[in-house]
């Protein structure tokens, strides 16, 4: 089931009304990522204000999720002696069947009984698992022939999978929170899903479609048993009616074991009974219309198989589009707070931080990959125009604290000792500019580094020339930004707007604002905690990501520019747990959770103390990325580029998928800009900017490589996929032409042999074949258009398909691969199997 966006507070209000002191606590399963962390903070704040007990459980991957289902969710079931309850999944489980993995139902039987456990799913990952979205609409599944399909969908306040205002909580099941995608975009998938649910069981046999099976043979064996689930009840109900029919009519219908629908049969019976009691017509010249012949069982089965495959292809096409991201879940939780009338600056700030974190981790509508960033300034957010609309709403919400200020100065301090307001700021695309020197902030900015090629000597010189043109000496720019000359800080933005375009940095700072707040597109958000600290939303997102990806434990031992050196025992083995070990990941979650404590306590203290950790991580990204590029360690395979991080002082850092992903995005953007600068190749109006990137990091302690695949967005094109699709299109067209010619020959031969004889089954089969071929031909033409739109259009983005490609390689090779991350473009491969894994992967389509 799914909860429409306009009813986002419906379930929470019912939980509030039904809660009492003896109610079981709400279980919150949270992914280890900043957006989910901010959403968790918003939700727990609401629960605390309403005195609703809750329990938070961080979840690092599908293994953790399954353990939580067995150890925490299963005891909640009423069939296991529990009292039921609510499980909230934040950034968890949108891509899998949660009813199965969380043990909401009994695996021993086929019942849909959920035992009073209700799972709320708030996840930004796409595609949805449609079982979660449209399934689980009734507690105990009735036989398909005992209840009308439309009535079944409306039971319990559920209509076509969507919850209505009459829905009563507490009945159990999986409920997905819709951000608008389901109602607006999944109507075709919904119809296909329900059509398959309502279909009878039927053997998916190729012989039935090829016509090699005779009509008599189709009436025997397993196929008749399968059809019984469809027609068995109708046979039983029609026995008495059959006894009343004329004997000749009953004999004529006995050849077909699949009767007509109840409505058609009632019309036929009424016609017969009326004719039997009616006197002969006084007009003998009037001939009664002929009765339509019923199609044979084989024909009905072939029609059913075609319809089944048509609907299956719709669902498969949805799942094969690749991964993508929709609205941040922190924004969804803030919408819930707004509907409840509980919004305040603390919750607004959490929503802003969660939304800002999406860009830093490369999460966009095209999946994990290089964002299609605007060259005219502003952030390269997750959702294009839709994402900018969300950021505009957040700007309007925070505009209440601006007090009419339109200064171009980047704020670094509060306006008073008690100032906790949220302000808009013309943030440049620098990294931690308030807490670093201007030079270091510019040097470690992925946007600026990729366009100036700072990993080369000439790139560093270009950076120095840019600073010189702006009139900023190296002495000034190496000071901490807060200690720079005040006049330089006042003119910094205007000089960047003047000189940055000379170096291809048009989007380095947002454009000049022309109004109060409505035209401040690309401006960032800054919050102060009195004199304690002043942090931007991007700063907080960077720090939270660093805590989750690196860990806070050793931050105090890292001096500026030092590298990570774990302690070793006498045997030379590391005493620090592996960076991807769940036992080492969960404490990081609680450190990041504490760092987001609300205003009034030491909320910014942990964030400020973790700033050296964030600096260390991004120094390591610059060092490692520079090494890969300058030493030409990036190879170009058939469908993507590949690089391996297996040595160096920072190799331990990149055993974490989040840190490895940030390094991959840094390298991918550098390659993209390189290709754009030196390539004049164009396809249509879209310039070819690069290919996807696979980056592997060696975890020596566990003997595995952590592998991440980035792609999609930014004009990334998979040349192998293009060639494969073009070849498949040509092959399909040739096969269709050949089949059409053979069909014409068969038709002429049969016409000569029949000589007026009637052969209903063959005529029907030929007619169906013709219709099917013509429809498949039109589908093929449409598919070709969709491919072109998907690769180069604006509506269908080039999405990251590494998750699908990884699974295909695992199924076809003997490589030992572990797929446990919620991010399906991240896998772990045994050290010895990496070569074979990458070789098989190179023949796959990795964006689509």
Q: Is residue 412 part of a domain?
A: yes
Q: Is residue 161 part of a domain?
A: yes
pLDDT tens per residue, range 373-422: 544 444 444 556 677 778 888 888 877 655 444 567 888 888 888 888 89
- Output the pTM of the full model: 0.79
Q: Is residue 332 part of a domain?
A: no
pLDDT tens per residue, range 679-712: 644 444 444 445 789 999 999 989 999 999 987 4
Q: How many structural domains comprise the chain? A: 3
Q: Given the structure tokens 């008495």, which residue do they identify?
A: 240
Q: Is residue 111 part of a domain?
A: yes
Report the CATH number that the domain containing residue 76 is assigned in CATH: 3.40.50
Do 558 and 644 share a domain, yes or no? no
Q: Using CA of residue 541, residue 546, residue 552, residue 555, what is the dihedral sign?
A: negative
C-alpha pair distances (Å), 294 with each of 259, 297, 302, 697, 764: 9, 9, 15, 65, 11
Q: Given the structure tokens 């109900």, which residue do they identify?
A: 237
How far apart CA 299 and CA 661 sit, in angstroms, is 53
DSSP track, 45-79? HHHHHTT--EEEEEE-SHHHHHHHIIIIIGGGSGG
Ranges of beta strands (E only) in 290-412 are 324-325, 363-364, 367-368
Do 345 and 425 share a domain, yes or no? yes
Q: Which residues contact 296 (CB under 8 A, 6 or more apart)?
A: 215, 218, 255, 256, 760, 761, 764
Q: Is residue 783 part of a domain?
A: no
Do 636 and 610 share a domain, yes or no? no
Do 417 and 498 share a domain, yes or no? yes
What count of other Cβ atoms lies within 10 Å of the Cβ of residue 160?
Answer: 16
Do 397 and 461 share a domain, yes or no? yes
Q: Is residue 519 part of a domain?
A: yes
Identify whether the C-beta of residue 296 lies closer than 8 Å to the C-beta of residue 773: no
Instruction: Kindly provide the b/e burial profile for residues 44-71, where b requires at least 16 CB atoms within 10 angstroms of the residue's own CB.
Output: bbbbeeeebebebbbbbbbebbbebbee
pLDDT at 391: 82
Do 146 and 76 share a domain, yes or no? yes
Q: Is residue 251 part of a domain?
A: no
Three-state secondary-structure class, residue 105: coil
How far apart CA 362 and CA 365 sit, in angstroms, is 10
Q: Which residues contact 402 (CB under 8 A, 6 or more apart)?
A: 423, 424, 516, 517
Q: Given the structure tokens 């031992």, which residue do they identify?
A: 557
Q: Print the domain residue range for 476.
A: 339-565+582-614
Structure tokens at 838: 């990458």
Three-state secondary-structure class, residue 709: strand
pLDDT at 35: 95
How far apart CA 747 and CA 766 sit, in angstroms, is 8
How far apart CA 690 and CA 716 sit, in angstroms, is 5
Q: Is residue 626 part of a domain?
A: no
pLDDT tens per residue, range 281-325: 445 555 556 666 788 888 888 888 999 999 999 999 999 888 889
Do 496 and 636 share a domain, yes or no? no
Which regions of the chain are under pLDDT 70? 107-114, 136-155, 204-292, 371-385, 400-407, 512-519, 553-583, 599-602, 679-690, 712-727, 753-797, 848
How far apart CA 848 and CA 844 sit, in angstroms, is 11
Ranges of beta strands (E only) in 670-703 are 682-683, 686-687, 693-699
Instruction: Kindly provide the b/e burial profile for residues 238-269, where b requires at least 16 CB atoms within 10 angstroms of the residue's own CB.
Output: beeeeeebeeeeeeebeebbbbbeeeebeebb
Do 609 and 636 share a domain, yes or no? no
How far apart CA 819 and CA 485 sit, in angstroms, is 52
Do 688 and 828 share a domain, yes or no? yes
User: In this structure, what DSSP letter does residue 471 have?
Assistant: T
Identify whether the C-beta of residue 427 lies closer than 8 Å to the C-beta of residue 536: yes
pLDDT at 665: 92
Do 640 and 551 share a domain, yes or no? no
Q: Domain ends where: 154, 181, 202?
A: 202
Do 652 and 554 share a domain, yes or no? no
């Amino acid at each position: 089931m799914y909860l429409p966006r306009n009813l986002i507070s419906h379930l929470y209000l019912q939980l509030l009304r039904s809660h009492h002191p003896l109610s079981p606590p709400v279980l919150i399963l949270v992914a280890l990522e900043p957006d989910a962390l901010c959403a968790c903070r918003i939700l727990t704040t609401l629960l605390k204000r309403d005195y609703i007990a809750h329990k938070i459980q961080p979840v690092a991957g599908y293994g953790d999720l399954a353990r939580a289902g067995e150890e925490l969710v299963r005891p909640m079931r009423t069939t296991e002696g529990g009292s039921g309850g609510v499980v909230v999944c934040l950034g968890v489980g949108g891509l899998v069947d949660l009813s199965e993995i969380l043990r909401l139902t009994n695996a021993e039987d086929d019942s849909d009984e959920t035992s009073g456990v209700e799972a709320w799913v708030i996840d930004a990952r796409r595609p949805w698992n449609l079982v979660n979205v449209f399934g689980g609409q009734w507690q105990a599944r009735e036989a398909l022939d005992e209840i009308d399909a439309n009535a079944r969908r409306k039971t319990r306040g559920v209509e076509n999978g969507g919850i209505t205002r009459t829905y009563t909580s507490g009945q159990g099941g999986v409920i997905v929170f819709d951000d608008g995608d389901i109602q607006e975009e999944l109507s075709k998938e919904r119809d296909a899903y329900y059509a398959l649910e309502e279909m009878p069981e039927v053997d998916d046999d190729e012989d039935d479609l090829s016509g090699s099976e005779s009509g008599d043979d189709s009436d025997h064996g397993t196929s008749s048993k399968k059809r019984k689930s469809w027609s068995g009840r109708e046979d039983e109900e029609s026995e008495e009616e059959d006894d009343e029919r004329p004997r000749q009519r009953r004999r004529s219908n006995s050849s077909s074991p699949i009767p007509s629908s109840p409505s058609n049969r009632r019309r036929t019976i009424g016609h017969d009974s009326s004719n039997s009691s009616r006197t002969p017509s006084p007009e003998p010249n009037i001939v009664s219309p002929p009765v339509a012949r019923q199609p044979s069982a084989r024909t009905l089965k072939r029609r059913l198989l075609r319809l089944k495959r048509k609907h299956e292809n719709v669902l498969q096409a949805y799942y094969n589009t690749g991964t993508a991201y929709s609205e941040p879940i922190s924004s969804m939780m803030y919408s819930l707070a707004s509907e409840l009338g509980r919004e305040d600056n603390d919750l607004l700030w959490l929503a802003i931080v969660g939304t800002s974190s999406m860009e830093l981790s490369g999460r966009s509508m095209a999946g994990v990959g290089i964002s299609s960033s605007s060259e005219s300034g502003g952030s390269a957010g997750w959702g294009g125009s839709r994402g900018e609309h969300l950021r505009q709403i957040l700007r309007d919400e925070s505009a209440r604290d601006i007090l009419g200020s339109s200064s171009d100065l980047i704020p670094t301090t509060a306006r008073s000792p008690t100032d906790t307001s949220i302000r808009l700021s013309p943030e440049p695309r620098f990294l931690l500019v308030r807490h670093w020197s201007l030079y270091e902030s510019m040097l470690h900015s992925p946007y600026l580094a990729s366009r100036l090629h700072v990993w080369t000597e000439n790139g560093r010189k270009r950076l120095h020339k840019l600073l010189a043109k702006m009139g900023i000496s190296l002495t000034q720019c190496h000071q901490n930004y807060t200690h720079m000359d005040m006049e330089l800080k006042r003119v910094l933005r205007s000089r960047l707007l003047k000189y940055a375009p000379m170096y291809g940095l048009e989007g380095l700072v947002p454009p000049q604002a022309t109004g109060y707040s409505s035209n401040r597109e690309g401006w960032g958000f800054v919050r102060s905690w009195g004199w304690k600290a002043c942090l931007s939303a991007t700063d907080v997102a960077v720090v939270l990501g660093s805590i989750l990806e690196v860990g806070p434990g050793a931050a105090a031992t890292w001096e500026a520019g030092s590298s990570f050196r774990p302690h070793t025992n006498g045997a030379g083995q590391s005493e620090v747990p592996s960076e991807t070990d769940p036992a080492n990941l969960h404490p990081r979650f609680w450190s990041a959770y504490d760092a987001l404590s609300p205003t009034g306590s030491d909320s910014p203290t942990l964030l400020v103390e973790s700033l050296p950790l964030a600096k260390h991580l991004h120094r390591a990204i610059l060092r490692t990325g520079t090494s890969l590029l300058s030493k030409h360690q990036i190879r170009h395979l058939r469908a993507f580029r590949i690089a391996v991080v297996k040595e160096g002082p920072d190799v331990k850092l990149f055993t974490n998928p989040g840190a490895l992903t940030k390094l991959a995005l840094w390298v991918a953007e550098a390659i993209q800009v390189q290709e754009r600068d030196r390539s004049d190749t164009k396809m249509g109006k879209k310039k070819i900017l690069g290919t996807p990137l696979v980056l592997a990091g060696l975890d020596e302690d566990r003997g595995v490589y952590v592998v991440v695949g980035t792609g999609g967005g930014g004009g990334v094109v998979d040349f192998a996929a293009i060639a494969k699709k073009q070849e498949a299109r040509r092959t399909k067209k040739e096969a269709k032409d050949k089949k059409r010619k053979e069909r014409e020959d068969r038709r002429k031969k049969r016409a000569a042999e029949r000589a007026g004889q009637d052969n209903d089954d063959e005529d029907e089969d030929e007619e169906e074949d013709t219709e099917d071929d013509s429809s498949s031909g039109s589908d093929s033409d449409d598919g070709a258009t969709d491919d072109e739109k998907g690769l180069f259009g604006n509506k269908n983005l080039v999405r990251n398909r590494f998750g699908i490609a990884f699974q295909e390689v695992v199924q076809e090779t003997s490589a030992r691969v572990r797929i446990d991350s919620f991010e399906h473009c991240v896998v772990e491969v045994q050290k010895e199997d990496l070569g074979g894994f990458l070789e098989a992967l190179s023949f796959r389509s990795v964006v689509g």
